[in-house]
Structure 1
């Protein structure tokens, strides 16, 4: 019994379809004429249905479509009555009849082909495995050789079996033997797995970088970034530190700081400068012509717009409130501090002033700036964002309190200072002096009880003062002291034993030293024997030069140093001049005549006053000083450092010298009668010196002076008065001294002298 038509093994060897079988040759009616060689059994098509329900031709057509073939070729065959249709209609019976009519030779060729019928073109099909053993196992014909269908071979009849590629070429060109142009090779796509691995590595690296950055931000640098963010939200407000006050010896305010306001403008925001200037002028007490240029838009020299201009500083709080009430665009009011000087010109040359930044410029304000100036504080707090930028409740808040400056208590007595200033000013105006000075010293302590300069100024308005008014004549100006130097010369001679209190000096009306002749204002005949009190009383230049010759240049120079000449006293004012004294090596021939009488050297009025205070203090020099105490903000009082002291003369010599100088006020015809103080014994000396101008030449005016002490029997105070005017010390300065000393003694309740001054013999 023949096998079933549906047996897939029919017409195959080992399950592989014979390459010579082509269903395309089937009869259109479902059968084939036996022996014609043009028709084949329908079983070929029956076997080409795949297990999925599609025929291999349909699968080939689908693959052809994907490979760029004609997707509609199978459909066209059906429309045109293709050879496949009869096989499908014939079913199993047709397949059986075709099998009977066209048996397949074991060599795989159609019998009809053996009879000489033309062989149809072989149909391209799947390429069998290349393994020869597998090929034989799958039923390939023995005549095909070891290569099988892949390599081609020959059938039992001797015909060459084309390879699969050649079959494909023949099918493509319509017949065997015609080569077909190979399609252009396509570029191989990258390996998907390599691309996936590369993408994975890149993504992993990206995640590692991001993760590392997150670790850095969250763990390593978190505190630093948090601190930076906090700083950006922190607003700092300065807390001003009030400047310390300056008191007199009785704690009366001489200078202190008060709260004030500053008014400024941003010219770029001022809408109507003219109207703003008119409204501000009466409040700020400034003319419109001064305010308008500051309010109007203007630029710097480089073309940059000016955005800040001070309109007024240190104005009263009430004035600042009124300016704020105007609500002028571009005009602002801020906190300020102002130095208030209740006495205006009282001790102005002594106190000095500050700039707008409250930094001392002159006087005590400058000399004790570090003590007076406080340390500003600050308040830092956290603010929110936006235009309001308000403080965040409960946020960061740190306040560093300001440390107000310490106050300074001076040795000055305000009432005495006022009286001395008044008397000096009146006397200097009377004698038409260019400048004048007066200083009152406590001989025992070195305290400066009053220190006045002429001309003065208003310390509340320092901008209106000239340079001449701002200087302190007691420490800034140096002069040739003149005859007041004779007390130093004779005191040194007494201390060295060159002369005694009862010694006499033979003199004449004049004496020549070098190329200069020195004469007396009270000339005496040649050979006159003058006493030491007589030298003081008549201010004898010849007698003082003669004593200086006996003392010697070196000793005179040494005693000038001991009396504090040639060096600043360190009173407390900045810019104090040290003066100038000449060592003997610098002396010329005339120096031996000029230096003993106070010419050819330069001193300050304060230096000469300190020298006379040493004589009044029993021969002990005490450093003059202005500061008594410093007072911290909490009220702690710290006394000023003790003044320097050193002995210049013995007590006996100092007493003898002081007694001799009483002759200046008491001896008939003496030079200092106008310095007498009713009820008190006075000792002192007149002087007429010179003032050296900046060009190095002497001015035409004299420097008239008087320095004295009272009570002479037990001195308490020394007062020195200098005036740059025409005249001698007895006429210009002595009257002012008398007034000042009388007030000082009365104010301090010093009892009048209980003894009369001694009687003096001038010549013998």
Structure 2
């Protein structure tokens, strides 16, 4: 069977290559060249090719067969072509080129023979031959019946069916380039619009977010700008403690190239041994596992010293602004003022108690820095700076000059009597202001680290003692106020008195004689005082103890002030009616007892002691301290009578407080000998005390002296110290001498 696209037409060719028609009537035509080659299509000849000479000799035939793929199969026919199964050039014969297939009979049945013929064999179209043309199908001539359909052997006429007109197949609809262009343009414009909108959003709407996101990686760590700490002044504006600008020295161990050499160079300038500096200069790990890049070497370094360190150009050593707390007086009022830590936070004393007032709010500076080797601030770059807010200042009630003299006198007296602990309080009776409050031992607040914790205690508010006989004026005042005894009354005072199995006696035996109230005060009669307390009763005595301020802190302003203890009557034991009136089984502080005597001197009105006079804000605004608490304890008349009775202590011959007398001034007071209470137990030794007021006829100041010594009474140890301090106080404040003489006291009226 001839290949598709390569079968011959119904017209044969002769031996000379000339083509003839099927009936032999058509004139001879020769075709050749490119134009003839173009006449062939992969599906065979068209209608135009019908009647043309045979082109089997066309030299382009093999090429066209290759283009058609050389395939065999059915050939699509045009409306003018005969149906498949119509006449074909017959078979092939390599010998004679005769027809290879038998023609069809009159019924249209095809024969079975096949003629073969190649070279020189022509094809006729006389009878309906079955077969296919190679590249061109047989075309019916005039009067020739249509070829039968393939596979039926019958023509359309035999089947008596009308021949349907065959529509020319439409070529496939090609894509429109205009549509593609429009779609591509729309897509491109859409993309450009989306990108443009997004750029506008990024650069206009989201600019701060993106800018900040990039900025975060270029910002430095916050640099703290220390806020100046408030100053502590005395009552006259003299500086007791203030802050000055300084520098701190730090090291980055990762950059220190020679730690040993750096330690040797810094040691003499910082005053720190090399053995302490070297561990901070060598590389070390922090608890989180990272290498330490910052170690403090010294805080509060003088600016001049810092400049010298900067001049050394030691790798890894840096200097930065700092603040240093200075106490010009050194140990002047140190136990009151206290100190701050390296971070400028108050730790003890007034610095600790009022840290929230004195300490300001630090500022900070954040700036943009370069990376790598350019780790410096970028000029005109991002900079955010928060100004520090300085702290407020405090004006104390303390008088610097008086404080200095009190401390000097106390220190000399404590050394003379070998006292381990001592204190002096000087108070203005009208206002409750503490003018001086000294402690022994003391320390240098400007260099507090070498001191012992016990040296830094404020003895006046933390020293808990059994007051001893200085407690007796409370009993006498209560007795006068309650009418138990008159100012000029007397009592028969026996040699001893027994309470709960404990015998109490006097150092000066009255042997049952009538003794005046002034005499009992002058000789510090234990028996007479217990007898007065018996007439008062436990509950009334307890009430007056509380009204005079015992059993709770005074609220002066010092941190950690002790409250003391006063036994409730229901807690008294058998000996309590004898011990409590004379100042035993009562826990007090020196400041509490000073306030008791100030109430007697102030006409019977108790005034809360105070250390803070006013607060000065950063803008200079002055705010006075809150008014002190006051309360009436005894009447002014009874207070005046009690002061007169107490003058007997410094004037009656043989009285316990003669060493407290000050020439030219009337002095009222009381001596005492008690015990120190430590952790609820009595410590070895005795606490000698004297508390007095002057001028007695018009009191201005109260001075109390307490000293814990190996032994000795208040008259011998504390009274002389009181005299020196009170005399200086009266002179310092220019109090004129008393114009009257003290009264003549009768101890044993007849």
TM-score bucket of the superposed structures, by smaller chain: 0.7 to 0.9
**From 748, 751, 758, the counterpart of 2:733:** 748
Query: In structure 2, how many angstroms separate the alpha carbons of the residues matched to 1:680 and 1:719?
Result: 14
Which of 401-410 and 273-282 deviates more?
401-410
Matches within 5 A, 1:160-309: 214=199, 216-218=201-203, 220-230=205-215, 236-300=222-286, 304-309=290-295
1:720 maps to 704
Among 709, 729, 738, the residue aligned to 2:693? 709
**Counterpart among 629, 633, 645 of residue 648 in structure 1:** 633
Post-superposition shift, 1:743?
0.7
Segments of 5+ residues of structure 2 without an aligned counterpart are 46-57, 72-104, 159-174
Q: CA deviation at 1:469?
A: 0.5
Distance 1:114 1:457, change over 3 A: closer
Contact 2:267 2:277 in 1 (8 A): yes
C-alpha separation between the residues in 2 aligned to 1:27 and 1:705?
A: 163
Contact 1:268/1:307, CA 8 A, preserved across alignment: yes
C-alpha separation in 2, matches of 1:215 and 1:456 = 73
Deviation at 1:583, TM superposition (A): 1.7
Counterpart position of 1:431: 417
2:159 is aligned with 1:153? no
How far the C-alpha of 1:668 sits from its partner, in A, is 1.5
Q: Is 1:332 paired with 2:318?
A: yes
| CA shift for structure 1 position 224 | 3.0
The TM-score with structure 1 as length reference comes to 0.78
Alignment of 1:26 onto 2:13: yes
Structure 1 residue 451, shift from structure 2 partner = 0.5
3-state SS, counterpart of residue 269 of structure 1: coil
Query: Within the alignment, does 1:350 sit opposite 2:353 as a pair?
Result: no
Q: Is the 8 A contact 2:469 2:673 kept in 1?
A: yes
Q: In structure 2, do the counterparts of structure 1 residues 120 and 603 end up closer, same or farther at CA, with 3 Å as the change threshold?
A: same
Q: Deviations over 1:699-747 (max 9, x none)?
A: 1211111100111111111011111112111112111111111111111
1:271 partner SS? coil
Partner residue in 1 for 2:554: 569
Instruction: Give distance in 2, aligned partners of 1:430 and 1:741.
Output: 19
1:468 aligns with 2:454: yes
Query: What is aligned with 2:572?
Result: 587
Q: Tell me how far apart the structure 2 counterparts of residues 325 and 343 of structure 1 sit (CA, whole Å).
A: 33
* Cα distance change of structure 1 residues 69 and 544 upon mapping to structure 2, 3 Å threshold: farther
Match of 2:743 in 1: 758
8 Å Cα contact 2:6-2:65 kept in structure 1: no
- Listed as ranges, the matches of 1:22-171 within 5 Å are 26-27=13-14, 29-31=16-18, 49-50=37-38, 65=66, 122-125=132-135, 142-145=145-148, 147=149, 153=153
CA distance in 2, matches of 1:476, 1:512: 33
- Name the structure 1 match of 2:563: 578
Equivalent of 1:405, from 381, 391, 406? 391
| Cα distance in 2, alignment partners of residues 296 and 634 from structure 1 | 46
Asked if the contact 2:23–2:124 (Cα under 8 Å) also holds between the matched residues in 1, the reply is no
The reply to whether residue 636 of structure 1 matches residue 621 of structure 2 is yes
CA deviation string 1:48-74 (max 9, x = no partner): 54369999778875675467659xxxx
Q: Are the counterparts in 1 of residues 299 and 322 from structure 2 also a CA contact under 8 Å?
A: yes
For the aligned residue pairs, the C-alpha RMSD in angstroms reads: 4.1
Alpha carbons of 1:288 and 1:18: their partners in 2 closer, same or farther (altered >3 Å)?
closer
How far apart in 2 are the matches of 1:401 and 1:141? 117
Cα drift, residue 510 of structure 1: 2.0
1:699 pairs with 2:683: yes
* Residues 620 and 649, structure 1, Cα contact 8 Å, conserved in 2: yes
CA distance in 2, matches of 1:18, 1:242: 111
Q: Is the 8 A contact 1:36 1:112 kept in 2?
A: no
Distance, in Å, in 2 between the alignment partners of 1:115 and 1:121 is 12
Name the structure 1 match of 2:643. Answer: 658
Deviation at 1:303, TM superposition (A): 5.6
Q: Is 1:452–2:428 an aligned residue pair?
A: no
Q: Tell me, in whole angstroms, the C-alpha distance in 2 between the residues paired with 1:28 and 1:473.
A: 150
Aligned partners of 2:648 and 2:668 also within 8 Å: yes
Between 548-557 and 301-310, report the one with greater CA deviation. 301-310
The answer for the alignment partner of 1:621 in structure 2 is 606
**Could you tell me whether the CA contact under 8 Å between 2:460 and 2:590 is conserved in 1?**
yes
Q: What is aligned with 1:388?
A: 374
Of 681-690 and 41-50, more deviation after overlay is shown by 41-50
1:520-531 to 2 correspondences below 5 Å = 520-525=506-511, 527-531=512-516
Query: How many residue pairs align between the two structures?
Result: 666
Q: What's the secondary structure of 1:336's corresponding residue?
A: strand
| CA shift for structure 1 position 519 | 2.3
Residue range with higher mean Cα deviation, 389-398 or 660-669 = 389-398
Deviation at 1:397, TM superposition (A): 4.8
Shift of 1:305: 3.5
Asked if structure 2 preserves the Cα contact closer than 8 Å seen for 1:143 and 1:154, the reply is no
Q: Give the match for residue 83 of structure 2.
A: none
